[in-house]
Amino acid sequence: MTVREAADPIAHLEAAGRFDRILVGGHWILPLSDKRAPVIDPSTEETVAEIALATADDVDCAAAAARAAFPRWSATPAAERARLLSRVHQLILERAELLAQAISREMGAAIAYARAAQVPFAAEHVRVAAENLASYAFTRMRGTTAIVREPIGVCGLITPWNWPLYQITAKVAPALAAGCTVVLKPSELSPLSALLFAEIVDDAGLPAGVFNLANGTGPEVGEALSCHPGIDMISITGSTRAGVLVSKSAADTVKRVALELGGKSPNVILPDADLERAVGPGVAACFRNVGQSCSAPTRMIVPRERLAEVERIAAATAARFVVGDPRDEATTHGPVSNRAQFERVQHMIGMGIAEGAKLICGGTGRPEGLERGLFARPTIFSEVASGMAIAQEEIFGPVLTIIAYDTIDEAVEIANDTIYGLGAHVQGADMEQVRAVAGRIRCGQVHLNYPAWDPQAPFGGYKRSGNGREFGIEGMEEFLETKSILGYAAA
């Protein structure tokens, strides 16, 4: 039997008794209620497992365990914290196939994509956190004053279903590197990879209580974390609506709140761009992870005189996608991850048609030959006005809107015509002009001519896309307080 054949996350977690338990204070314990939630495979809409759900009382226990562990962990030498994080990184790589299979089952990622992106990118967050920690100066002198960066304390981390492991490591690794202890609430819709990650942290030998896992719903566990007086910081990745609710709940305890929320990212194709190099990769970037990425470039902003050519290339690119069984090695795009999101995507495609946008390909309903499962048709609209709902609202599915412009100033205006400001792309041959346009777009991260992903590049939003930054050194600094010690050195 090969490693791939042996990698059955459902059987593994069932045999280990993980579905019934949460991880608190270094122990896999039964939660304080018998509430459970189904784990649905979106490719079949069948229940593949059930998980136990924590309650607000369980959050109290987890927060207490994290609080008890904080003094020792925050005082642990940086080199030792880095060593343990490197061990976590190593175990993720060793168990990569098990994790990939779990992600494919829980949220429908094509197995090839789970192996190529979901798992290795998640592992990179841990590697980068260990690397940055090893060289980070927690004390810097400014004249005779010492500027000291100290861990903020106990952190509640709330992660989404679309990049389940990736978003977990993007928060957990820098928080632990900073010297914080954590309580993680992953999405109850995609909990398999979180359970496997908790096993990895446990097996890596981190002290009891440093990492705690409480599966549960947003209204129960998310709310309890947000308002808990024993939680010093909340970091959430989710919808803008969820971020608003968490911020309001956290306000009474005046805790720090880091928000990584929605997006409607533009992809500005300048007049001198090579369309063959600009359009196809832009379509692929929009539809990556079935469009379920907050930073997906879902608005392609193109020169009006080249609109017909853009439409031709975009449609040809989408026609090459293979939508189907996520466990099939040939599949490029699996299903939408859950029923609510599937219905949302279908509704927004219907709205685009009703608004009068030109349907280039796709449309409502499942792709031909797929009679069950939450599969959506890769859909491209053209002749979209910036004020249309499909150009303003985050759809979070395989839907691209193409918007034409007449001048570069108008292109920038369209790019900024949104309540969001998370990511953006700019394509062009004249790099001076490309950089100038990038500088005018109001967002937290801009990609020029499809560069390679950089795990050290800070990521976060302007406007209603949130606040704070993840990834790289800035991602770790989100979990640090600043203390000034005057007179630290003799004048």
Q: Which amino acid is at 7?
A: A
The CATH number that applies at residue 413 is: 3.40.309.10
Q: Are residues 211 and 156 in the same domain?
A: yes
Q: Are residues 136 and 189 in the same domain?
A: yes
Which among 260, 311, 394, 478 is annotated as catalytic?
260
Q: Are residues 272 and 253 in the same domain?
A: no
Q: How many Cβ atoms sit within 10 Å of the Cβ of residue 416? A: 17
For residues 129 and 74, give the distance between their C-alpha atoms in angstroms, rounded to a whole number: 15
pLDDT at residue number 5: 53
Residue 296 has which token pair? 């997906």
Which among 155, 294, 361, 443 is annotated as catalytic?
294
For residues 377 and 319, give the distance between their C-alpha atoms in angstroms, rounded to a whole number: 10
pLDDT at residue number 182: 98
**Percent of the chain residues past pLDDT 70, beyond the cut:** 99
Residue 302 has φ and ψ, to the nearest 5°, of -130, 155
Residue 268 has which token pair? 């500005």
Q: Please report whether residue 490 resides in a domain.
A: no
The answer to whether the beta carbons of residues 475 and 469 sit under 8 Å apart is yes
Q: Please report whether residue 479 resides in a domain.
A: yes
Q: Please report whether residue 461 resides in a domain.
A: no
Q: Are residues 55 and 118 in the same domain?
A: yes
Q: Are residues 327 and 205 in the same domain?
A: no
pLDDT at residue number 490: 80
Q: Please report whether residue 443 resides in a domain.
A: yes
pLDDT at residue number 363: 98
Per-residue pLDDT tens for 13-47?
Answer: 999 999 999 999 999 999 999 999 999 999 999 99
Tell me which of 422-426, 454-458, 486-490 is least confident. Answer: 486-490
Q: Does the structure show a pLDDT above 70 at 491? A: no
- For helices 431-440 and 408-415, the axis angle rounded to 10 degrees is 40
pLDDT at residue number 160: 98
Region 74-94: mean pLDDT is 98
Q: Are residues 254 and 270 in the same domain?
A: no
Per-residue pLDDT tens for 160-187?
Answer: 999 999 999 999 999 999 999 999 999 9
Q: Are residues 163 and 30 in the same domain?
A: yes
What burial letters (b/e) apply to 10-28, b meaning 16+ CB within 10 Å? bebbeeeebbbbbbbbbeb
Q: Please report whether residue 194 resides in a domain.
A: yes
Q: Are residues 175 and 251 in the same domain?
A: yes
Per-residue pLDDT tens for 443-458?
Answer: 999 999 999 999 999 9
The answer to whether the beta carbons of residues 147 and 484 sit under 8 Å apart is yes
Number of domains in the chain: 2
Q: Are residues 383 and 330 in the same domain?
A: yes
The answer to whether the beta carbons of residues 184 and 168 sit under 8 Å apart is yes
Per-residue pLDDT tens for 352-393?
Answer: 999 999 999 999 999 999 999 999 999 999 999 999 999 999
The CATH number that applies at residue 207 is: 3.40.605.10
Per-residue pLDDT tens for 240-257?
Answer: 999 999 999 999 999 999
Q: Does the structure show a pLDDT above 80 at 330? A: yes
Q: Are residues 163 and 201 in the same domain?
A: yes
For residues 381 and 333, give the distance between their C-alpha atoms in angstroms, rounded to a whole number: 19
Q: Please report whether residue 321 resides in a domain.
A: yes
For residues 355 and 350, give the distance between their C-alpha atoms in angstroms, rounded to a whole number: 9
The answer to whether the beta carbons of residues 433 and 405 sit under 8 Å apart is no
Region 421-441: mean pLDDT is 98
| Residue 176, CA atoms < 13 Å, CB-side half-sphere | 33
Q: Are residues 334 and 360 in the same domain?
A: yes
The answer to whether the beta carbons of residues 166 and 116 sit under 8 Å apart is no
Residue 417 has φ and ψ, to the nearest 5°, of -85, 70
Q: Please report whether residue 313 resides in a domain.
A: yes
Does 260 participate in catalysis according to the annotation?
yes
Q: Are residues 9 and 118 in the same domain?
A: yes
The whole-model pTM stands at 0.97
The answer to whether the beta carbons of residues 26 and 202 sit under 8 Å apart is yes
- Domain range spanning residue 334? 266-454
Q: Please report whether residue 462 resides in a domain.
A: no
pLDDT at residue number 1: 42
